[in-house]
Amino acid sequence: ELDGHRHFMHKEIHEQPQAVSDTLEGRIAGDQVLVEAFGPEARSVFAEVERVQIVACGTSYHAGLTARYWLEDILRLPCGAEVASEFRYRNPVLQDNTLFVFISQSGETADTLAAMEQVRAERDSQGLNLPMLAICNVPESSLTRGADLTLLTHAGPEIGVASTKAFTTQLVALALLLVSLGKVQQRLSPEREARIVAGLKKLPRLIEGALVHEPQLEALARIFVDKHNALFLGRGTHYPIAMEGALKLKEISYIHAEAYPAGELKHGPLALVDENLPIVAVAPADDLLEKLKSNLQEVRARGGRMIIIADERAGIASEPGLEVVPAATHVGRITAPITLNIPLQLLAYHVAVLRGTDVDRPRNLAKSVTVE
Ligand code: M6R
């Protein structure tokens, strides 16, 4: 049911405030996260964890990369994130007391399932403690059946091939994991937990606030219609968000889009910048803002057309050739990447609509990649 939307992707983008509420439902009480949401044994499993390894594909991998920044920065817990197709074939060293987190919307992605089986085989043969957690949108999927612990994202059915609400709810689920691990291991103060929970509760409203900017993003989509390439920039947790924005654009509009950590510009991609390369940057009001601004200046000086998805507090003003979408305000370490991703989804959607592609079923792609 499209409910008056032109495409499922559009409907699913607009369902995100509700989807986030559904992910949180029953998982928080007052200003605390309920560790038992991960299963009755979660507390004892989390107590033993010395490091976290996230394995996933595509958009789910980008959620994992974002969580990697959170876990190391906020909890000081070592965390890796890797695409499943690489992890499964490179014979990685598995260390005792590693929590494996497999993220998948469908729970049927072949590479992610194969990586899970590999971890299982290794722990059985070596007697290692390698608990496996599935963050998944489909109950009774192969992934949830194989995992020791499961947290369902409760995003509701996602029909569009381009993942939107699944990604947002994966990030919320990973924030719940961050708090749960942090509590059990006493790496997170009750005050910090309360602040994170307050931020998560505010998220549906923050996302609504970002969705309001759709007309501006629809207008900006015109810049991309006749372009062949686009560059997405971000730093810190917003680098994975830039990667996700680039994936959305290439997947449904067939425009080549690449994401770069903004600090890497000088090491190569700056050579690409001219008036034919639109650049999209994500600018939260965080401690990397000044560095990001100077990266953006490097691009401006070379005539690149820029779109900046910004926290209003970042204090970046529009000027000719530089358009600011003030899509968020008062977002924090956890809520900023989740909120600032929303305009990137809308931008990709409207570029695809203008280019007349099959938005919900892009060529050559399947919703669930069940073969290698
Ligand atoms: O079902 P999964 O989350 O395991 O799927 C992983 C990827 O195939 C998926 O995220 C893909 O990258 C999306 N089409 C991106 O929008």
Blockwise average pLDDT, block size 10, the chain, 372 residues: 96 98 98 97 98 98 98 98 97 97 97 98 96 97 98 97 98 98 98 98 97 97 96 96 98 97 90 92 87 83 87 88 90 96 98 96 91 86
248 is catalytic: no
| Alpha-carbon separation of residue 290 from 182, 240, 278, 294, 325 (angstroms) | 30, 19, 21, 6, 18
Q: Evaluate the CA torsion angle 199, 203, 209, 215 in order and state its sign.
A: positive
How far, in Å, from the CA of 331 to the mean position of ligand 1?
27
pLDDT value of residue 287: 83
How far, in Å, from the CA of 164 to the mean position of ligand 1?
10
pLDDT value of residue 294: 84
pLDDT value of residue 81: 98
Q: Is 33 helix (H, G, I), strand (E, B) or coil?
A: strand
For ligand 1, mutation pick of 12, 57, 361 (most atoms within 8 Å of CB): 57
How far, in Å, from the CA of 65 to the mean position of ligand 1?
14
Residue 260, token pair as written in the block: 């770069």
pLDDT value of residue 248: 98
How big is the CA angle at 235 (ends 231 and 239), to the nearest 5 degrees? Answer: 60
| Alpha-carbon separation of residue 3 from 7, 10, 14, 53, 356 (angstroms) | 10, 10, 11, 39, 21
How far, in Å, from the CA of 161 to the mean position of ligand 1?
8
* DSSP 8-class letter at 286: S
- Show the ligand 1 pocket: residues with CB < 6 angstroms: 57-60, 104-106, 109, 112, 161-163, 247, 251, 368-369
pLDDT value of residue 346: 98
Query: How long is the chain?
Result: 372
* DSSP 8-class letter at 94: P
Residues forming beta bridges with residue 53, ordered by sequence position:
80, 100
Atom of ligand 1 nearest to the CA of 162: 16
Dist CA 205 CA 24 (whole Å): 14
Within the chain, strands assigned E span 28-29, 32-33, 51-56, 79-83, 98-104, 132-136, 149-152, 229-234, 256-261, 279-283, 306-311, 322-328
